[in-house]
Amino acid sequence: DVKVTQSSRYLVKRTGEKVFLECVQDMDHENMFWYRQDPGLGLRLIYFSYDVKMKEKGDIPEGYSVSREKKERFSLILESASTNQTSMYLCASSLLAGGNIQYFGAGTRLSVL
Amino acid sequence: KQEVTQIPAALSVPEGENLVLNCSFTDSAIYNLQWFRQDPGKGLTSLLLIQSSQREQTSGRLNASLDKSSGRSTLYIAASQPGDSATYLCASSGSRLTFGEGTQLTVNP
């Protein structure tokens, strides 16, 4: 079975802090994704990556950056956390681009105070 | 820009009932249509994927259909059980996934 592991289930941070959310997949997938999920807005794509050291902006990249130094690991970085970044963050991976099944991690619920 | 809509937003049924969840999308140029399940506070679990060339997919008590021409997909759940209670999301796949907001299903014992 594919396993996508997010390092933290819950995080509480202060405004202005630099925050790292880590995601690791164990199936040698090419593609990895970061989403945020908010009530009434659904899942929105923040960033994705089709290969090591490669990144593409999604629909809401502002205030975020990403890092993919190794194939299995995709990190989401909040350079200076703000209260409007309080959300559920979901990482996903898929074997190939386009129409492949995406496998999701359990999510990280981030609260920025 | 693709838009995906799910109706109803919430549904409550007695155990044993057959039910249908609806998903509509505005752009028919998709690779596939995926259905996911999400339990409270958890990530998403893939249930079914229907390729654009297919009409339906089945897994156990679940059957998903796809009508690209009308921009619609349905998820049929037979003989519902309390364990089916969750939020069900559909997502259309073009260059990226576009998600609906989900249908929150409650199956009452």
> pLDDT tens across A78-90, in order?
999 999 999 999 9
To the nearest whole Å, the CA of B76 is away from the closest chain A CA by: 20
pLDDT class of A97 with cuts at 50, 70, 90: low
> Given strand A19-25, what is the order of strands in its sheet?
A4-6, A19-25, A73-78, A64-70
Distance CA(A74)–CA(B35), nearest Å, equals 24
Q: How many CA atoms lie less than 13 Å away from A43 in the CB half-sphere? A: 28
The closest of A22, A30, A35, A20 to A74, measured between CA atoms, is A22
Overall average pLDDT of the B44-55 stretch: 92
What tens digit of pLDDT does each residue of B80-94 get? 999 999 999 999 987
- For residue A69, the SS3 value is strand
Shortest distance, CA B96 to any CA of chain A (angstroms): 6
Residues 6+ apart with CB under 8 A from A50: A30, A31, A56, A97
Q: Establish if B104 touches chain A: CB-CB under 8 angstroms.
A: no
Average pLDDT over residues A45-49: 95
| 8 A C-beta contact, residue A95 and residue A40 | no
Q: Which of A25, A43, A48, A108 to mutate to test the interface with B (most CBs of B within 10 A)?
A: A43
Long-range contacts (CB closer than 8 Å, 24 or more residues apart) made by A76-79: A76/A20, A76/A21, A76/A23, A76/A34, A76/A46, A76/A47, A77/A18, A77/A19, A77/A20, A77/A21, A78/A13, A78/A17, A78/A18, A78/A19, A78/A21, A79/A18
- Residue contact B46–A101, C-beta within 8 A: yes
Is B45 in Cβ contact with A99 (below 8 Å)?
Answer: no
Partners of B24 in beta bridges: B5, B72
In tens, the pLDDT along B91-102 reads 998 778 899 999
Distance from CA of A36 to the nearest CA of B (A): 11
